[in-house]
Amino acid sequence: MDIFDKCDEYTLTRELRANDIYAYYRNISSPQDPVVTMDGEKVIMLGSNNYLGLTNHPEVKEAAKAAVDKYGTGCAGSRLLNGTLDIHVELEDAIKRFMNAEAVLTFSTGFQVNLGVISCLLGRHDVAFLDNLNHASIIDGVRLGFAKSFKFKHNDMADLEAKLSRVDENKGRMIIVDGVFSMEGDLCPLPELVALKKKYGTRLMVDDAHGLGVFGENGRGTAEHFGLESEVDLTMGTFSKSLATVGGFIVGPKQVVEYIRHHARAQIFSAATPPPMAAAVIAALKIIEREPERRKQLWENTNYMKRELVNLGFDTGDSDSPVIPIVVGDEETAFTMATRLQEEGVFANAIVTPAVPPGQSMIRTSYMATHNRSHLDQALTALKKVGREMNVI
């Protein structure tokens, strides 16, 4: 059997293109601002994770430009060998201060954080307990480490406890969850997770890619939001959402991070974060600390859109974050609705299986601090029109 046969048998994208409803890899020719340019047209952006609106901030861009002038465009090697620059040390120190952490290690992408950290800490004789809506990078990290995994129903603590109770306490065990679930927009029940962690003597890791910069009095994320920072063993964060560029990090106990630094294959065998990206994160952190009003405006926009979408009759699930899904059910409706929204001047994402369970396809919308009321009202007009047209409302 030819391993390429599966490629010929994969017809979904050809069918979507034939029906003019293919909604992926869309071409944007402008920054990730509240309004973007697509095919020469201005479109309201409701599909970005640029929560604090920093990807096009002048200070962030100037910092990246200055780093290019000083260091060039890349490191040409891994952090372990020749790729550690003083700006990487400065970046980790800045994250350590911001997160009030004992130790920090950065990675070139957020996906690599989960892949590297989980696979080097969990081995063949260890067990991971995963929410069944966890990010793909968490699942792949467990697989790469050959650990056994138990998936529990989404945010169902009774199901988690039932699985915890069946595992030998002599095995290495870790609960791993998203802080904010990236498609549904709801939070993990962190207080209950911490209680179960203590009861069963496990470790707890939180992927806070979508919580960082958004939740907590200082923007430190989900654990700060719940007042439980000292109870989470490891926190993962990304640079590709609130921090305006690409990359990621892990924070945790010093000796654990030191172990990860020398054992995480996704880190030691990957090229270091390019210097302009490191500089951009340092600048973004300064803005986040200096301008808490950005987070306040983000939440004003989020609360307004959640209220208005519900009033229009959309099913927004259990979202508690700037990620607000519109559940539409079947995949064809999601693809068609995303296409129609773009025709009406709104960019939103069609999300289908395996990113969500079958029958739970959605239009994923997300919001920025830099959206103004005019942007949001224009988007609501389009959503109302297309929602009614598609019999979603």
**Same domain? 155 vs 253:** yes
- What's the structural domain count of the chain? 2
Rounded Cα distance, 267 and 107, in Å: 6
In a domain, 6, yes or no: no
* Spatial contact of 206 and 173, defined as CB atoms under 8 Å apart: no
Rounded Cα distance, 20 and 89, in Å: 48
In a domain, 263, yes or no: yes
Which tokens is 148 given? 């056994």
Longest dimension (CA), the chain: 61
CATH number (domain holding residue 344): 3.90.1150.10
**Same domain? 79 vs 220:** yes
Question: Is the entire prediction scored with pTM above 0.95?
Answer: yes
**Same domain? 376 vs 278:** no
**Same domain? 180 vs 256:** yes
Instruction: Select from 71, 141, 86 the least CA-distant residue to 110.
Output: 141
In a domain, 50, yes or no: no
The helix (run of H) or strand (run of E) holding residue 137 is: helix 136-145
Query: Which of 259, 290, 321 represents a domain boundary (last residue)?
Result: 290
Rounded Cα distance, 350 and 358, in Å: 14
Which tokens is 68 given? 């290019």
* Spatial contact of 330 and 361, defined as CB atoms under 8 Å apart: yes
Which tokens is 256 given? 């654990």
Amino acid found at 94: A
In a domain, 209, yes or no: yes
pLDDT value at position 205?
A: 98
pLDDT per residue of the chain (393 residues) written in tens, 0 to 9: 899 999 999 999 999 999 999 999 999 999 999 999 999 999 999 999 999 999 999 999 999 999 999 999 999 999 999 999 999 999 999 999 999 999 999 999 999 999 999 999 999 999 999 999 999 999 999 999 999 999 999 999 999 999 999 999 999 999 999 999 999 999 999 999 999 999 999 999 999 999 999 999 999 999 999 999 999 999 999 999 999 999 999 999 999 999 999 999 999 999 999 999 999 999 999 999 999 999 999 999 999 999 999 999 999 999 999 999 999 999 999 999 999 999 999 999 999 999 999 999 999 999 999 999 999 999 999 999 999 999 999
Rounded Cα distance, 26 and 349, in Å: 10
pLDDT value at position 65?
A: 98
Rounded Cα distance, 286 and 370, in Å: 18
**Same domain? 231 vs 279:** yes
Range(s) of the domain holding residue 302? 11-45+292-389
Pairing of strands 173-178, 127-131: parallel
Over its C-alpha atoms, the chain yields an Rg (Å, rounded) of 21
Mapped onto helix, strand or coil, the DSSP state of residue 285 is: helix
Instruction: Select from 177, 211, 235, 192 the least CA-distant residue to 320.
Output: 211
Report the catalytic residues.
Answer: 182, 210, 241
CATH number (domain holding residue 270): 3.40.640.10
Amino acid found at 110: G
Instruction: Select from 156, 153, 157 the least CA-distant residue to 133.
Output: 153
Rounded Cα distance, 146 and 23, in Å: 35
Instruction: Provide the H-helix boundaries in 175-314.
Output: 190-200, 222-226, 254-263, 265-268, 275-290, 293-312
